[in-house]
Amino acid sequence: MKKHILPIIAIILLIASCEKDDICIEPVTPQLVIRFYDNANPTEYKSRTSLYVWAEGKDSIYNDVSTDSIALPLNPAEDFTIYHLSSNDIDDTITINYTREEIFVSRSCGYKYNFNDLNLADITNNWIISTEITNQTVENETEHVKILH
Amino acid sequence: MKQNMSRFCISILLLTVAFSANAQEETTKDSIKLKDKYGLRLGVDISKPAISFFNDKIKGLEIVGDFRITKNIYAATELGYYERDTEEDYINFNSKGSYIKVGGNINLYQNWGKMSNEIYVGVRYGFSTFSQTLNSYSPNFDGTYFDEHTIFPNLDFDGLTAHWAEIVIGLKVEAFNNLYLGSSISLKKMISQEQPENFKNLYIPGFERVYLNDTGFSFNYTISYLIPIFKKNK
């Protein structure tokens, strides 16, 4: 027994010391998900074609895409983000207001933000007919905003 | 002197072959009566001041002590203070506080002649009272569309406590008369802890780094002196 106990403890220690939490694998700050619906039939998704999306003063994050769903990062340094949505050379802007809540995730991921009290303001209606907030809290990446067109 | 020297050499040899040497089972049949020393052994962990010297983000001191109860059983304790700044990818925090560990060791090494060395396993109960300070953090988000920014909340979380259990294995070598060099490794498992709100105990004095499943491990390297109180026949 005495002869075996040391190797056994050494093995336990080796296994225990191999565990890693140095790599961030948990989800971090979620993005705002906008889905496009058909104004004539508000329960059906409808794609926009030739869509360009950029935040005020930034480069495009969507370039000439055709989609019924976009995920937009919200500015983590401000309580609002202004986005330009341009489709078939028709521009619309939308201001997204929110409050930021920092949430501790883990040693390697640090803190993430959840965005609460979501609301939309200063919406232009060139191709966007109407908007609706379906989820006021951005804590995971499911639909938060409906755009009817 | 020669004898002292050879004892020193044997002790050093023991350090290097410590884990394969415990198969030695010969007993000496000597006409000289050999005696075991019993007493209080006090020492310090020399690795912590050494690390403090080279790394100004870490300060630490640990005092160790043990008392021989029977031939192979020792009551043991460690007392310490530890403070360190830890920088991770998205957070920077400070942990500081003091700790105590109490328990015992069982010596598995069979000494021959006048040698008084140990290869031991032990258990400890550890308790720490400490505080953490969140110096800064950078909110973590995917992509680089928006620039990363750092916030300095300097948020203090005081009055935190932790209780844990440890398994220790180590060795002690009598390098000179009554002067011992030792080293040990301990594996820890958290029993209970008071967590800060919207943060986590990531580094606990005495427990050191807290891994994901609330385990940890640490080393110490000690130099200690035995104050002999009485002797017993072997």
The pair of structure tokens assigned to B154 is: 């300097």
pLDDT in tens, A42-74: 888 988 889 999 998 889 999 989 999 999 999
User: Any idea where the domains of chain A sit in the sequence?
Assistant: 21-148
Residue A103 has pLDDT above 90, yes or no: yes
- Do the Cβ atoms of B19 and A10 come within 8 Å? yes
Q: Residue B18: its pLDDT value, please?
A: 47
Residue A81 has pLDDT above 90, yes or no: yes
Q: Residue B17: its pLDDT value, please?
A: 47
Q: Cβ contacts (< 8 Å) between A13 and chain B: which residues?
A: 185, 187, 217
B154: distance to nearest CA of chain A, Å? 15
Residue B128 has pLDDT above 60, yes or no: yes
Q: Residue A14: its pLDDT value, please?
A: 60
Q: Residue B29: its pLDDT value, please?
A: 52
Is residue A77 within 8 angstroms of chain B, CB to CB? yes
Query: What's the distance, CA B58 to chain centroid?
Result: 16
Q: Residue B1: its pLDDT value, please?
A: 43
- Do the Cβ atoms of B145 and A19 come within 8 Å? no
What is the CATH number assigned to the segment(s) B2-13+36-139+147-233? Answer: 2.40.160.20
User: Any idea where the domains of chain B sit in the sequence?
Assistant: 2-13+36-139+147-233
Q: In whole numbers, what is the pLDDT of chain B averaged over residues?
A: 86
Q: Residue B20: its pLDDT value, please?
A: 45
Q: Which helix (H) or strand (E) holds B47?
A: helix B47-54
User: Between A and B, how many residue pairs show a Cβ–Cβ distance under 8 A?
Assistant: 102
Q: Residue A24: its pLDDT value, please?
A: 86
- Do the Cβ atoms of A9 and B89 come within 8 Å? no
Contacts of residue B44, Cβ cutoff 8 Å, sequence gap at least 6: B61, B62, B63, B64, B222, B223, B224
- Do the Cβ atoms of B141 and A112 come within 8 Å? yes
Under 8 Å between Cβ of B183 and B222: yes
C-alpha torsion angle, residues A116, A117, A118, A119 (rounded to 10): -170
Q: Residue B121: its pLDDT value, please?
A: 96
Say what percent of chain A tops pLDDT 70: 86
Q: Cβ contacts (< 8 Å) between B202 and chain A: which residues?
A: 107
Residue B155 has pLDDT above 60, yes or no: yes
Say what percent of chain B tops pLDDT 70: 86
The pair of structure tokens assigned to A90 is: 């028709």
How many Cα atoms sit within 13 Å of B7 on the Cβ side?
Answer: 19
In the block, tokens 């950029």 appear at A54
Nearest CA in chain B to A102: B139
Q: Which of A9, A12, A111 sits opposite B90 (nearest CB)?
A: A111
- Do the Cβ atoms of A31 and B213 come within 8 Å? no
Is residue B35 within 8 angstroms of chain A, CB to CB? no
Q: Which of B121, B141, B213 sits opposite A5 (nearest CB)?
A: B121
